[in-house]
Amino acid sequence: MANFYVKEGLGIMCQTILFDDMEIFQTEDFFEIFHSFRFE
Q: What is the pLDDT of residues 5-39, one digit of tens each?
A: 998 998 998 888 888 888 877 888 877 877 777 77
Q: Which residue has the higher pLDDT, 2 or 29?
A: 2
Predicted confidence at residue 12, as pLDDT, reads 92
40: nearest Cα among 9, 1, 2, 4 = 9
Helix, strand, or coil here: 4? strand
Q: Which residue has the higher pLDDT, 33 or 4?
A: 4
Domain residues for the domain of 11 are 2-37
Number of compact structural domains in the chain: 1
User: What are 16's strand-pairing partners?
Assistant: 2
